């Protein structure tokens, strides 16, 4: 922790920000007070039972750390094959040259809370009736209580002509992948020199950090301005949605930014495939007139492409009968989760959180920071034989980087109302701000590794 903050200090000093100001900003962001008071120690329970956590990402490790603190005799097994813990919000900053790749990950061993039985394996099925999970290599593992936190599955195969492995071919890129983010940064630098047509897309399913495709588009635009080559590129943003952003408090400014930067927004368009040899992206324009849906195919030439693949709950969630089977969240089988208590709607000994959860909010680690205390307290109540009483209000945050140096920090709840938690945002949260850039680039990463994952923030 000390080491990391010293690194941050050095970075701040290089950027001309004094240590005093940096400390003030940390206090404002609630980082230091949280570490200082160790508020998370407040609860103490003698509840007993074997807890199995599926997934050791943002949600799984944070839950393990909280439960470890709050239970007097914790019995926690965490199943996850990954040896590395990635701070995925940093992928956008790798793709824009702000972070080096090695700055966004740590060894999973160093993030795992002490005393957790970590099984390095993949879960392939859950039997929620007999309370057991099946793993790829370690057979069946029984549980009394299950925490479902395996994140989401990126369905690369749903974009024809390109795979996760071939990212970068035909200058088609995607920052939702660690290697992909690195290739994107090289490509943006080349693109700013050669110029041409840049196309950016999101996708029609819920996807993690809905802001990421918008951020990389705006960052490319600003990068070319910084390089003095803006007139050589023309950029287009394609969204599968009927609007660019759906949080009314923040949307007007975002639309203005796209207009000011001369980046047209094309609505209701999906990516079908990429012809990397011809550098053409195959799109589908969806229109609904009088309840009749029409699909018009389009082919666009590009010189640089950033696309977003469709995403869903991992297959084992659907196959194990844990996903929604009706409603808007059924197609991708997001876990059937009560949006307030985070308890599974069908199985009361399963808690779901993080990207896998089928709840109507954005899939971000910021949301998980607020979900974890609710999920952990409710799980403990259930273990104690009480009803889960804590409620999550749908808080999510998406720091939309609008340029090198400013961020539109979108924080909102289930009602799409602003839910502002960072005090310096009081300046005018509906506009992009330099302070939010410092938060994004210098504070959120240490907050993740040393706050959230330690069960403190
Ligand atoms: C490019 C990009 C930009 C982003 N920007 C932001 C941002 O600015 N702000 C923000 O708040 N969030 C951002 N996010 C989103 C954020 O990273 C995710 O919402 C968050 O990591 C989700 O946490 P999770 O624990 O649900 O899933 P993850 O952190 O993805 O962890 C899932 C874990 O489950 C494990 N797992 C998967 N399947 C299995 C299985 N079958 N068995 C066992 N283990 C399994 C995986 O190995 C992994 O360790 C961004 C993400 C990306 C990719």
- pLDDT, tens digit, for every residue of 80-102? 999 999 999 999 999 999 999 99
- Which atom in ligand 1 lies closest to the alpha carbon of residue 123? 42
Does residue 251 contact residue 242 with C-beta atoms inside 8 Å?
Answer: no
**208 Cβ inside 6 Å of ligand 1:** yes
pLDDT tens per residue across span 319-336: 999 999 999 999 999 999
Cα torsion 371, 377, 381, 382: sign: positive
Domains of the chain: 2-152+313-396+442-454 (3.50.50.60), 156-310 (3.50.50.60)
How much of the chain exceeds pLDDT 70, in percent? 90
With 0-12 / 13-18 / 19 or more C-beta atoms within 10 angstroms meaning exposed / middle / buried, residue 287 is exposed
**Res. 136: pLDDT tops 60:** yes
Q: Can you tell me the distance from the alpha carbon of 55 to that of 373, in angstroms, rounded to the nearest whole number? A: 17
Does residue 366 contact residue 396 with C-beta atoms inside 8 Å?
Answer: yes
pLDDT tens per residue across span 384-433: 999 999 999 999 999 999 999 999 999 999 999 999 887 655 578 899 99
**Res. 443: pLDDT tops 70:** yes
**Res. 30: pLDDT tops 80:** no
**217 Cβ inside 6 Å of ligand 1:** no
Q: Provide the pairing of β-strand 280-289 with 292-301.
A: antiparallel
Query: Which pLDDT does position 327 carry in this prediction?
Result: 96
Give me ligand 1 centre to Cα 208, in Å.
8
Q: What number is the average pLDDT over the span 341-346?
A: 98
Label residue 288 by pLDDT band (50, 70, 90).
confident
Q: Any catalytic annotation for residue 217?
A: no
**Res. 254: pLDDT tops 60:** yes
**171 Cβ inside 6 Å of ligand 1:** no
Query: Which pLDDT does position 41 carry in this prediction?
Result: 60
**Res. 290: pLDDT tops 90:** no
Query: Of residues 209, 217, 352, 410, which has the active-site annotation?
Result: 209
Query: Of residues 111, 174, 217, 398, which has the active-site annotation?
Result: 398
**314 Cβ inside 6 Å of ligand 1:** yes
> How many CB atoms within 10 Å of residue 115?
10
Query: Which pLDDT does position 13 carry in this prediction?
Result: 57
Q: Any catalytic annotation for residue 398?
A: yes
């Amino acid at each position: 922790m000390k080491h990391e903050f010293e690194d941050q200090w050095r970075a701040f000093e290089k950027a001309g920000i004094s240590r005093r100001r940096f400390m003030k900003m940390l206090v404002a962001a609630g980082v230091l007070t949280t570490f200082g008071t160790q508020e998370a120690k407040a609860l103490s329970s003698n509840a007993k039972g074997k807890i199995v956590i599926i997934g050791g990402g943002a949600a799984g490790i944070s839950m393990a750390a909280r439960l470890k603190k709050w239970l007097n005799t914790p019995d926690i097994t965490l199943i996850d094959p990954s040896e590395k813990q990635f701070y995925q919000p940093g992928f956008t900053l790798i793709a824009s040259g702000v972070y080096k790749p090695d700055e966004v990950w740590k060894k999973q061993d160093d993030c795992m809370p002490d005393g957790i039985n970590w099984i390095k394996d993949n879960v392939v099925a859950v039997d929620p009736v007999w309370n057991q999970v099946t793993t790829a290599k370690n057979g069946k593992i029984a549980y009394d209580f299950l925490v479902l936190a395996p994140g989401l599955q990126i369905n690369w195969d749903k974009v024809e002509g390109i795979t996760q492995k071939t990212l970068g071919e035909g200058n088609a890129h995607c920052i939702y992948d660690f290697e992909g983010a690195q290739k994107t940064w090289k490509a943006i630098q080349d693109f700013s020199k050669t110029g041409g047509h840049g196309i950016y897309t999101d996708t029609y399913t819920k996807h993690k950090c809905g802001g990421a495709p918008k951020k990389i588009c705006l960052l490319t635009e600003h990068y070319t301005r910084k390089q003095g080559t803006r007139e050589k590129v023309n950029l287009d943003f394609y969204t599968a949605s009927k609007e660019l952003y759906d949080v009314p408090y923040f949307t007007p400014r975002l639309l203005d930014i796209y207009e000011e930067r001369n980046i047209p927004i094309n609505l209701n368009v999906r990516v079908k495939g990429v012809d990397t040899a011809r550098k053409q992206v195959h799109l589908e324009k969806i229109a609904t007139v009088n309840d009749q849906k029409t699909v018009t195919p389009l082919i666009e030439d590009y010189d640089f492409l950033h696309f977003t693949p469709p995403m869903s709950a991992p297959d084992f969630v659907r196959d194990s009968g844990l996903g929604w089977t009706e409603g808007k969240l059924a197609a991708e089988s997001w876990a059937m989760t009560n949006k307030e208590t985070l308890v599974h709607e069908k199985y009361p000994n399963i808690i779901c959180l993080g990207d896998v959860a089928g709840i109507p909010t954005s899939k971000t680690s910021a949301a998980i920071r607020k979900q974890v205390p609710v999920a952990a307290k409710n799980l403990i109540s259930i273990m104690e034989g009480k009803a889960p009483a804590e409620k999550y209000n749908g808080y999510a945050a998406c720091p939309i980087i609008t340029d090198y140096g400013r961020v539109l920090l979108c924080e909102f709840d289930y009602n799409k109302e602003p839910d502002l938690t960072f005090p310096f945002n009081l300046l005018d949260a509906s506009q992009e701000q330099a302070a939010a850039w410092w938060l994004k680039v210098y504070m959120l990463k240490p907050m993740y590794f040393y706050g959230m994952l330690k069960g403190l923030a």
